[in-house]
Structures are given as structure tokens and as C-alpha cells.
Amino acid sequence: MAHIAVIHGPNLDLLGTREPSLYGTTTLEQIDERIRTEASPHEVKTFQSNGEGAIIDFLREVSGWADGIIINAGAYTHTSYAIRDALSAAAIPAVEVHLTNVHAREEFRRLSVIAPACLGQIAGFGWHSYVLGLEALLEHIG
Ligand code: DQA
């Protein structure tokens, strides 16, 4: 049985009401529930924080436990060398996911500074991006 850590970054706690035309109406709680169902019988720990440091602390906390990571770092995707370094330091296979197609939006969203520390990126499929990310991660972990 694999251990999967799912990390949601800033403002993703607002899903359901945050810019629904972009992000949909599914709440974070519903997404976490869906991931748990899809991942069964594998074990899942989910975490959301609006703080960069808290995300880094969580990565350290699960680094002895997790076999794989799914991360939607929100806007930190585009700015946080600290989260990228923490992912590299954890040395656990990670998949970057986004609800929206970050490549079809504002210019600043096209750059992911965490991408080099991840296996790959899935973007643009709404909450389904998480499920696709999980599938890719489990396939990789084997
Ligand atoms: C996001 C895309 C980011 O650019 C944005 O800052 C988010 C959400 C997404 O899931 O589409 O907060 O990561």
C-alpha cells in the first residue's frame, strides 16, 4: 500500500466560491474526498495552507512517510524557489497539478519554478487534474 501526500497551496481553501467560472464549484473538501476514493486502498494525507513555510514544514513532516506527492502550489508555483528546494530535498516522486490550464492564462502563470522538482505537470482539467495526477503517480510508483 502506498502513502500519498496531497498538498494544496494558497487560496485553494476557497474553492467552491473562488472565481467559479475559472476554478469550478467543487470544494476542496469534495476534491480531497474524491482523491481518497480514487486512491483506495492506498493511504492519503491531505494538507492545505496559505503559507509557504507551512507547506515546507508539511513536506518535511511527510518525507519519512510519503511514497508520492501531488502538489497544487497555487500561486507559489510561479514564485517559490523555497518549495522547489523542499521538494528536491524530500526526494519523493511528485506530480504538479493545476485546475486551470496555466499555459492559456496570464504570462506569469506559464512559468512553474517547482516543475524541475516534479515528475510532470497536469493542468487544465478542473478537479479531475488531481485524479489524473494520482493515476500518473501510482503508475510511476508501481
Ligand atoms: C492554480 C493556478 C495558479 O496560477 C493560481 O495562482 C492558483 C490555482 C490552478 O490550480 O489552476 O491559485 O494553481
Q: How far is it, in rounded angstroms, from Cα 51 to Cα 24? A: 23
- Which 3 state secondary structure label does DSSP give 46? strand
Ligand 1 closest atom vs CA 97: 10
One of 3, 8, 23, 76 is an active-site residue; which one? 23
Burial of 12 (0-12, 13-18, 19+ CB in 10 A): buried
The predicted structure's pLDDT at residue 32: 98
Ligand 1 closest atom vs CA 129: 10
pTM of the full structure: 0.98
Q: How far is it, in rounded angstroms, from Cα 97 to Cα 139? A: 16
**Average pLDDT of span 91-109:** 98
The mean pLDDT of the chain is: 98
Ligand 1 closest atom vs CA 101: 11
The predicted structure's pLDDT at residue 98: 98
Question: Smallest Cα–Cα separation from 32: which of 51, 5, 10?
Answer: 5
**Average pLDDT of span 117-133:** 98
Residues with CB under 6 A from ligand 1: 11, 72, 74-75, 77, 98-100, 102, 109
Peptide bond preceding 10 in cis form (omega within 30 of 0): no
Span from the CA of 37 to the centroid of ligand 1 (angstroms)? 23
The predicted structure's pLDDT at residue 22: 96
| Degrees, nearest 5: CA angle 2-117-68 | 5
The predicted structure's pLDDT at residue 132: 98
The predicted structure's pLDDT at residue 120: 98
Residue 23 annotated in active site: yes
User: Which amino acid appears at position 142 of this protein?
Assistant: G
Per-residue pLDDT tens over the stretch 54-97: 999 999 999 999 999 999 999 999 999 999 999 999 999 999 99
What domains lie within the chain, and their CATH numbers? 3-141 (3.40.50.9100)
